[in-house]
Amino acid sequence: MHYEHAPTRTHQWVTCPEPRPQATVKLLCLPHAGASPRSFFPWTAELDANIELLPVCLAGRANRMDEPLATRVEDITPSLANAVLPLMDDTVVFFGHSLGALLAFELTLELRRRGLRQPDLLVVSGRTTPGSERALKLHTLPDRLLVREVQRIYGGIPREVLVEPELLQRTLPILRADLQINETYDPALRSRPLSCPLLAVGGTEDPHVTGTELGLWRRQTSGTFRTQQFRGGHFYMAEGEGRAWLLGQLNAAIRELNG
């Protein structure tokens, strides 16, 4: 499927920073809390030429600035599933980091509920398996304390946001709503796991998602499963060697899909 809005093709839900008409694989990427689809745009330079990058744009940011922010998983996955249906005729990989991992997982569940095929690979990064979340309620904190605690626990708020009060005030409602999605998530009872291959990745020094906890994603699929870790914390993949490692993992996993 190709979106026709130049220079960056954009759909309500799905963006495409670099159209690749000859690509054989679609890589759908779901962002962490507070992030926009632009956080994925630099990836195009390091992905194999046959992979088309499709970052998801959640309400309240980028081309959807005027839309109300979502505060529940249920506000997102049904409409997002409708948006990705045309992709599912191709080889497609879902990737999500932290909150994005939860959304990628729930999107896959939504497709299964509809009797539709699951992605060829689900990649979850920097998140515990659904049902083993810690009881954090950061989204209820006052602004200043919210920023301090997010930076202390996770890090990841860009310096340019922290030092620019106006930009920080625009970012905080998005961050708060995204944290509410994550912190109020209540996994429904499920009779069976997914059937798609699943790769769980994370940082060796992430205090909130250990290697053991990454391994618990095994129970979420009857398909093939493996875990990989790179040195670093929760945002091990933000830049430099960590990002190169992650994109190398994605490239290699996708080459395996193509045989």
Distance CA 24, CA 151 (A): 38
Residue ranges with strand state E in the chain = 9-10, 15-16, 25-30, 51-55, 91-97, 121-125, 198-203, 225-230
Enter the DSSP assignment of 194: B
CA distance 143 to 162: 12
**Catalytic residue ranges:** 98, 234
Residues 110, 113, 114, 119: is their CA dihedral positive or negative? positive
Fill in the DSSP letter of residue 61: S
Burial class (CB in 10 A: 0-12, 13-18, 19+), 199: buried
The neighbouring-strand residues paired with 194 are: 221
